[in-house]
Amino acid sequence: MLRALLFILPLALMIYAFIDCLNTPEEEAKHLPKVVWVIVILLFWVVGAIGWIAAGKVRRPAGARGGAGGWVAPDDNPDFLKSLRNEPARNDPARDEDAARDDEAGLKEWEADLRRREEELRKRERGEEDRRGRERGEDTES
């Protein structure tokens, strides 16, 4: 088991460094061009991977990730907060009554459609039963 671990850990480190290097923009690669870093990581397993992780990439502090043009939480986004202020009040009673009326009208339409379909099914079933009865009656007469 220990022998496998001695092979798997460096391999995992190399795969991580390789993928990280490929996903890093060219401008953020330090000391060497990105292509050279890929070759170093692939040729020198452990040393290349550790070199990339330690010195090959521009690392930002944890707080600087949002930066200019980065993702901002909605409660910190001034545009989002302005859109909430401009939106009509959600607890408007007149709006609620209109929505309730619309919902009720839609439900009545659905119920009428459902009743119509059920009636069509009943007629079809009656027609099929009548046809079967006639077919049975014809078969017994012969």
In tens digits, the chain (142 residues) has pLDDT values of: 788 888 899 999 999 999 999 999 988 888 899 999 999 999 998 999 999 999 888 877 655 554 556 678 888 888 888 888 776 656 666 667 778 888 899 999 999 999 999 999 999 999 888 877 777 775 555 4
Do the Cβ atoms of 14 and 48 come closer than 8 Å? yes
Q: What is the pLDDT of residue 106?
A: 92
Q: What is the pLDDT of residue 88?
A: 63
Type of residue numbered 51: G
> 73 in a domain, yes or no?
no
> 115 in a domain, yes or no?
yes
> 78 in a domain, yes or no?
no
Structural domain boundaries enclosing 137: 94-142
Do the Cβ atoms of 65 and 59 come closer than 8 Å? no
> 16 in a domain, yes or no?
yes
> 113 in a domain, yes or no?
yes
Q: Count the domains in the chain.
A: 2
> 133 in a domain, yes or no?
yes
**Long-range contacts formed by 29-38: CB under 8 A, 24+ apart:** 29/56, 29/57, 29/58, 30/55, 30/56, 30/57, 30/58, 31/55, 31/56, 32/56
> 64 in a domain, yes or no?
no
> 68 in a domain, yes or no?
no
